[in-house]
A and B are shown apart, each in its own frame.
Chain A
């Protein structure tokens, strides 16, 4: 364990803890743009600097590990001026379109401009003429709003390992895109949407997000219902309707989702969705109450079991239910019905 001091607070941290992680432990918030949990730190945005006593320059906290006896200051004039400069530079090369941007309210750049006292940028770089890519079914990409934090590129290459996104050009012409300037629709993108989830600005935004503002949303933590991995997610709910999904940092998914978890939530309000049990009567499926339906199932199962024995019955459960439900189902088949013929469709 190492002893460090953060803004006068003493604490002990494990070897290898970054300054940023140590700050989190004592509840000191540090502004970050390129840093993202589960991605290797790259220290490129230069936003998260702090002062370490005795060091010549300010240090990027996301990529500097704590040393024994380090005395860290997380805010002073120098730090403030440095961070302000970073935000000022990013704003100088940004399509400032906050009124209609779908990220308004949750955009990190917007937040930091506020925090560091920038009302009006003093500088402006000539905008480049980049193509807005709206060919993906679920999200749009506007390079003019990109701050090149490169989180999307790293998540696509290092975590989703799909190698769709890369960087091209250099200097002020550096841009996130796909090899040979492909569009999303022509690329190998699997629409997992993880790049969109990690984008701190409105550069990569879901199509649906045009219709809500972050402050209108309630978030509900849940488990994805598509397969048995158990990804944790937050349903974004506006006025009682699910309008989007954000990945949560769950044990099994660590902030990632697949295309189904991220985007296939529309079934919830789909008119074709079954909302009551149906019982076939006179050759037609007809709505029934749960009591009615369960009685029907129990009666028939009992009948088959008495007439033909338990092995005449087999059970097959859906992978779109939770592990717990599947377990209960297996117990029911073995214990209550008495057969080992039970299976589940999860085979991915």
Chain B
């Protein structure tokens, strides 16, 4: 039991001693990235293969441990071999490769450079074997990242309280409980400039102050871990990779506002996050870091996990509270804001996972340190989930103010297959797109707002030349329309009307007048909807209209989709003069709609064609075009 500050110090020293001992006893440590992403890619088999191979070869002085998501998802499964003199991060490994790593690297002392992410694996084939091993931190993907919220992810074993404490865990909680008043804590968080990472970007310190100022009595603190934004997974990674950081952040918040009870509302589709979070809570309870009279003070705090109801709208704070209360997950009108009247009518603070993960570092290292990172009105870092047409799909934590170009081309490694960058979607279905002309805009709350989009929760979807912007907007609206709770008419009916219209447009049945109607509807839905879902649902449409108006016009006027995505708007066509009558296209066509013979050029029956494109891919003479 950790009952006092002294106990915590003692615990930390013991833990450090233990890992020193471990290092002295063992020659190497192998860390396997085992977040959901790693496990899905096969990390469990890799982990088992490593253990098995070590056993078979009788190697005993190697520690094998799991860790959370290392962030470089494109290279999963990842395993890091840590030797006293250097660290090698192997990517794309499977059970077989894992065994070879044990044989060559661990037993034979021979680094397999071509598989090493900090070696040759990212280089062209012919240079791979020759590459030098650099520091993992010098790999372009990691180089410009600044890790605050992700500081322990991919480093510690998320299921070990000891490892968290060894990396200064719970020091901040100890500090606030013994050296700071709640008002001090709020002042420090306010001064740091931290803004909510869940989408709205409201000052965390100010929000806490509202709840703090409510008369004493029952208050609650809630962590929003519903993460429903398609393409975003930073909250999951934090919960899977460093759950104690969220527990500690919440305990500090609870102390600041005067709450004694907290809930983490976690997406039910995140079983590993739920499991590790529950484990972290029970470890903290066991050690007295949660519960009654924490660290011998009169602060008591209890924490519980609630499973999400499986709707995007349940991430909206008032709907989330209704869901915890057991009601239908529907937003309520604000004011009153939850800080004044939240769970069961009591003052309640709701913050996002990443917001909470920033709290302990701010307290420990000070608001000045945090404020020195980032830009004028957006302090600190933001974790982005890089997805779409980008080489290095993964999680990157960057200082606010980094340009989009740096994120996409330096960290992200650019667009695959040398394709042209077309735009980036931030803020998921609530956000908008940023076209190529704004690649050099520093990313922060204000600049994104100026461009007509939002920071959102940090999804960053990269689009290349072959993305149809009309279809992209349709995709996002399809999502929000489906996820609308149905409470208010602008969102319930309005998004449906817009979606119907967009569906007609991509099917080639749109009319020129539809475009103005879409815009009008979008503006009206934004203005008149009750909650943030409806107020932002038209954004993807409005912002693609703002930057890619000609594409919309082409769809409705010329019935053309320049990206070749909207199947109703193009045909595969065999140029008779170029056709060598080999008949390969007819063979691969899954619906057998191509006819011809040695004498007659082949033709496609457009009525039957399902536009799969197999013929075009198969034609050895490039005689088939999409038009």
Give A residues with C-beta under 8 Å from B: 41-46, 49, 57-58, 60, 63, 81-82, 85-86, 89-90, 92-93, 122-123, 125-126, 147-148, 150, 166-167, 169-174
Contacts and interface: CB of A to CB of B under 8 A. Distances in A.
A92 B486 contact: no
A152 to B, nearest CB: 15
B484 A89 contact: no
Nearest to B501: A123
A123 B497 contact: yes
Contact of B333 (A42, A167, A172): A42
Interface in B451-505: 481-490, 492-497, 500
A46 B497 contact: no
Nearest to A168: B328
21 contacts: A46-B488, A46-B529, A49-B528, A85-B524, A86-B489, A89-B490, A89-B492, A89-B493, A89-B494, A89-B497, A90-B493, A93-B492, A93-B496, A123-B497, A125-B496, A166-B328, A170-B313, A170-B483, A171-B481, A171-B485, A174-B492
Contacts of B527: 57-58, 82
Interface residues of B, number: 28
A82 B481 CA distance: 20
A224 B494 CA distance: 44
Contacts of A81: 524
Contact of B489 (A42, A60, A89, A122): A89
Contacts of A45: 488-489
Contacts of A147: 489
Contact of B484 (A63, A82, A172): A172
Contact of B485 (A42, A90, A170): A170
A315 B431 CA distance: 77
A275 B575 CA distance: 95
B23 interface: no
Interface string B501-535: 00000000000000001000000100111100000
B489 A171 contact: no
A169 B484 CA distance: 10
Contacts of B252: none
B483 A172 contact: no
A140 to B, nearest CB: 23
A171 B488 contact: no
Interface of A is mostly: loop
Contacts of B311: 170
A57 B335 CA distance: 13
A234 B446 CA distance: 59
Contacts of B346: none
A73 B92 CA distance: 64
A123 B520 CA distance: 13
A176 to B, nearest CB: 11
A171 B530 contact: no
B332 interface: yes
A174 B486 contact: yes
A86 B492 contact: no
B490 A148 contact: no
Contacts of B332: 42
A173 B486 contact: yes
B337 to A, nearest CB: 14
Contacts of A43: 333, 530
Contacts of A85: 490, 524, 528
Contact of A82 (B488, B492, B528): B528
Nearest to B329: A170
B496 A86 contact: no
A170 B486 contact: yes
Contact of B488 (A44, A58, A92): A44
Contacts of A90: 489, 493
Nearest to B499: A172
A85 B529 CA distance: 11
B496 to A, nearest CB: 4
Contacts of A58: 527
Q: Give the one of B485, B487, B495 with max A CB within 10 A.
A: B487
A82 B483 CA distance: 23
Contacts of B495: 171-172
